[in-house]
Copies of this chain bind each other. A is one copy, B any other.
Amino acid sequence: MNTVQMTKAKTRVLDTAQNLFNQHGYNSVSMRDIADGLGMKQSSLYYHVPDGKEQLYVEVTKRCLEAHFTGITDAISRFNDLETQLQAISRWFFSRPALHLFNMMEHDMAELSSENQHYLKELAYQSLFMPLIEAFEDAVARDEIRFVDPEQFAGMFLTIIEGVSFAHRNRHSMLPLDTMADQMIDVLMNGLRPQETAE
């Protein structure tokens, strides 16, 4: 994954754009909104991003997904059991602005050219799903959980993360984020524990 060493100014542009795209979605954010956030005129933005809005979104999303790949794989490598790994991954997610993964993949990316769409969807799969799938596979191999389709439960875990973030943003959620996530992970792990074909 290339890291071309970005100028400070470019980084600031990407940061501002990322915040806005994340909060409101691709179509709801105008170049003027981003320029306003940077304190410059809309046309000045094109000095930093000559290729326009779509390319800006692609760059922002690429950087974001690559950061998540690093964060997730790091979290996994620090521990040897699935439950602790999942807790660590949840902490990584909560330390960053919410991804709005489903919205990103189904609504934002639908606005892009089919090449960009395909590129970013594949990158999302490699960055977010693959490390989790491996973690679930390893846990099955260690007999820590019963056999399940790893892809299915990698997806389930990501939806839980998104759901917990959502609940925390929208509801008078009594509990801290971390506690909510741990409770969810506890139920999930408890539900996945190997069984002695009881009853």
Contacts and interface: CB of A to CB of B under 8 A. Distances in A.
Nearest to A186: B191
A63 B107 CA distance: 22
A14 to B, nearest CB: 21
A67 interface: no
Interface in A20-53: 24-25, 27-28
B180 A105 contact: no
Number of chain copies forming the complex = 2
A196 B170 CA distance: 35
Nearest to A105: B170
A111 interface: yes
Contact of A155 (B28, B105, B163): B163
Interface of A: 24-25, 27-28, 100, 102-103, 105-107, 110-111, 121, 148-149, 151-153, 155-156, 158-160, 162-163, 166-167, 169-171, 174-175, 180, 183-184, 186-192
7 contacts: A100-B103, A103-B103, A103-B106, A105-B166, A155-B163, A155-B166, A159-B159
